[in-house]
């Protein structure tokens, strides 16, 4: 059995003991999930209740809670079909410690192609949890991890293991350590809030008691830039997420639509102190580095390619709002969108191949994606109210957006291909302008 060296975690008080990482068959590793496939079939997955090795009431409740949490977390991705435990051919609480103890025919008989088992041990104020992912068809273990932590760490532990599953099946860690910032009128004024990737743990981030818009995460998730009318006009703020550090850009005119440069403590934003709305490159402290656009039409809403070498933005230079792409080194600008007369709110995918944006057609606004060369335009929403402000998940598999399909604007998510559209948050008031953070993997 292959071992990994122990790695010190960032999560305080949480220990991760790794005992297996990957499994291969013959000369090649099986490819389980191709996230670029729009016709992806969901993998039937069984998650029985975890075995309570301690055999006490506290362990019984926690084992069920952890198994349900893992099921919900994996189901969120859209890659798995969770099987009903009522259909299991054995007691849903099974040890599942090693593959030789599992009769895989009991699982393939009900259609399960993958199986997650867990063993839980309560140790005073802490617990140990051993989790394993099996390929029931091959009859082999794919991933195995052992964790030790306190009860308040349970969500972090489950998300960490789900990240390991996604890493093995797709080649990346998924979205489980990312967050979403958004604008909400929950307090009576439009303020910025944050939540975890799945809509849980909602927290208010700004408290200006005035209109606040356009949140944007820095690459390290330590800063959020945004626009606020707290001083009577739209100024730009760059605020640390945990520390009391705030930088303000309050020049004459407006300061809006910030977008961080990948891998740098720099950002682009639209400023109008020169009279026209143009995009400028700023330091993370708000000092102007240089002007990025120079046209007679309004230039707004920058978004960066993952390599930071190109920037997409919205301009009226052709008469109506359209999306353009600028190559930073050469200065070359080309128009990207030609279909329709109103295309705005671009967001460059983390894979670098597509741009999501809002497009108006027939009186309504929908989410579209287009390749960066202008080909393969795809409309992802249709006939469901107005759908705006798309933002890619850090692995490129999901898109978060706001929609009026149920009345007032709320936050929804869908796959990158427009499937599995569902509401993310249930909060009073309106929620708009969601922005997905990067995915910072704790080591």
pLDDT of residue 40: 73
Quick one: angle between helices 154-170 and 57-76, nearest 10?
40
- Cα–Cα dist 71/51, whole Å: 15
Q: Classify 389 as helix, strand or coil.
A: strand
- Residue-wise pLDDT for 296-330, tens only, equals 889 999 999 999 999 999 999 999 999 999 999 99
Q: Classify 141 as helix, strand or coil.
A: strand
What pTM does this model have?
0.90
Terminal-residue alpha carbon distance, the chain: 22
- Find tokens 């700004």 and name the residue: 206
- Cα–Cα dist 361/135, whole Å: 46
Distances 182 to 21, 66, 286, 414, 430 between C-alpha atoms, Å: 36, 28, 22, 16, 10
Q: Token pair of 166, please?
A: 């996604």
Q: Taking 90 as the threshold, does the pLDDT of residue 52 lie above it?
A: no
As a residue count, the chain comes to: 443
Label residue 376 exposed, middle or buried (CB < 10 Å: 0-12, 13-18, 19+): exposed
- Residue-wise pLDDT for 230-274, tens only, equals 999 999 999 999 999 999 999 999 999 999 999 999 999 999 998
Read off the pLDDT band of 37 (50, 70, 90): low
pLDDT of residue 407: 94
User: Domains (ranges, CATH) in the chain?
Assistant: 15-170 (3.40.50.10070), 179-436 (2.120.10.30)
More confident residue, 30 or 304: 304
Q: Taking 70 as the threshold, does the pLDDT of residue 34 lie above it?
A: no
Considering only the C-alpha atoms of the chain, give the largest distance between any 2 of them, rounded to a whole number of Å.
73
pLDDT of residue 92: 59
Of the candidates 341, 409, 260, 201, the one whose C-alpha atom is nearest the C-alpha of residue 401 is 409
């Amino acid at each position: 059995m292959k071992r990994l060296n122990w790695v010190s975690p960032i999560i305080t008080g949480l220990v991760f003991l790794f005992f297996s990482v990957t499994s291969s068959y013959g000369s090649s590793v099986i490819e389980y999930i191709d996230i670029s496939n729009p016709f992806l079939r969901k993998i039937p997955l069984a998650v029985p209740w975890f075995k309570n090795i301690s055999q006490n009431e506290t362990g019984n409740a926690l084992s069920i809670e952890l198994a349900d949490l893992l099921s919900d977390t994996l189901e969120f991705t859209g890659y798995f079909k969770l099987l009903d435990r009522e259909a299991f051919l054995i007691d849903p609480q099974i040890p599942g410690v090693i593959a030789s103890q599992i009769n895989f025919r009991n699982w393939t008989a009900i259609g399960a192609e993958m199986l997650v088992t867990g063993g839980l041990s309560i140790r005073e104020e802490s617990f140990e949890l051993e989790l394993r992912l099996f390929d029931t068809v091959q009859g082999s273990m794919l991933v195995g991890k052992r964790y030790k932590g306190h009860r308040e760490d349970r969500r972090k532990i489950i998300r960490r293991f789900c990240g390991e599953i996604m890493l093995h099946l797709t080649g990346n860690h998924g979205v489980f350590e990312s967050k979403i910032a958004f604008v909400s009128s929950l307090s009576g004024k439009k303020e910025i809030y944050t939540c975890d990737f799945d809509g849980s743990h909602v927290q208010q981030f700004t408290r200006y008691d005035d209109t606040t818009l356009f949140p944007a995460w820095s690459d390290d998730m330590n800063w959020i830039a945004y626009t606020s009318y707290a001083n009577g006009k739209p100024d730009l703020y760059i605020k640390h997420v945990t520390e009391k550090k705030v930088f303000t850009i309050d020049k004459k005119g407006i300061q809006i639509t910030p977008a961080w440069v990948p891998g740098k403590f720099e950002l682009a934003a639209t400023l109008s102190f020169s009279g026209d709305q143009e995009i400028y490159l700023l330091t993370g402290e708000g000092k102007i580095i240089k002007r990025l656009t120079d046209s007679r039409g309004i230039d707004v809403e920058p978004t960066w390619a993952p390599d930071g070498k190109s920037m997409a933005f919205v301009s009226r230079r052709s008469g109506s709002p359209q999306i353009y792409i600028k190559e930073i080194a050469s200065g070359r600008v080309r128009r990207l969108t030609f279909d329709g007369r109103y295309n705005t709110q671009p967001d460059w995918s983390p894979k670098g191949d597509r741009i999501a944006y809002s497009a108006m057609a027939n009186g309504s606004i929908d989410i579209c994606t287009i390749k960066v060369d202008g080909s393969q335009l795809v409309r992802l929403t249709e006939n469901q109210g107005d759908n705006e402000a798309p933002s890619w998940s850090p692995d490129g598999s999901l898109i978060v957006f706001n929609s009026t399909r149920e009345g007032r604007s709320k936050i929804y998510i869908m796959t990158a291909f427009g499937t599995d559209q569902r509401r993310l948050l249930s909060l009073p008031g309106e929620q708009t302008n969601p922005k997905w953070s990067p995915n910072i993997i704790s080591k």
